[in-house]
Amino acid sequence: MKKGAIAGLGCLGIVLIIVLVLGTKSCGTYNTLVAQQQSVESQWAQVENVYQRRADLIPNLVATVKGFAAQEKDVLQSVVAERAKVGSMQVSPDILNNPEAFQQFQQAQTGLSQALSRLLLVVERYPELKSNQNFLELQSQLEGAENRIAVERMRFNQVAQTYNTTVMQFPNNIFARIFGFQKKEYFQSEPGSEEAPVVDFTQ
């Protein structure tokens, strides 16, 4: 066999090994990205679930407060309007790739949180409402929902950070671009959010 043919076979072998290594690496990276993307979407579904739980409590809460404090019409209407705004948003996991839509979703949820805080502050003026068993039960459920929202948003940010780190690291970023994986948005605190909504009216 001629030296040129042997050299050619050696070069072909090296090329095949490189292709095999790159193929294995790309399969591993793709599978990792798919698994992490699924974790992000699963956690996003959990965030939506706890937001929905809070939204479901609101009609009963508003009705109960209205029964004792019908004159607080502006505050009650504000809560109903903010809940309607949140409910009218079409939300899917695609929102995680759209910073503008994600920001609108977060602003709508923040608007609802602020309206609820104003509603619950009004209760201080109505001692009979503060001692109503139905209201106390709703208040307790709302407090639980707010806590779950904070926990699930934190968990979402954690899985999104893991995913985003994988997407942005070299050489994963090359494969991510090829396969269409995009960085996900994070929940961020709104100004003044370091102060939790006031939901304890048992004092």
Contacts of 106 (CB under 8 A, 6+ apart): 187, 188, 190
Q: What are phi and psi of 19, to 5 degrees?
A: -65, -40
Element (H, E) at 143: helix 133-168
Q: For the chain, give the number of residues.
A: 203
> Exposure string (b/e) for 117-127, b if CB count within 10 Å is 16 or more?
bbbbebbeebe
The whole model's pTM is what?
A: 0.80
192 has a pLDDT exceeding 80: no
Digit-coded pLDDT (tens) for 39-75:
999 999 999 999 999 999 999 999 999 998 888 889 9
Rounded CA gap, 3 and 1, in Å?
A: 7
Q: Does domain 24-179 have CATH number 1.20.1440.20?
A: yes
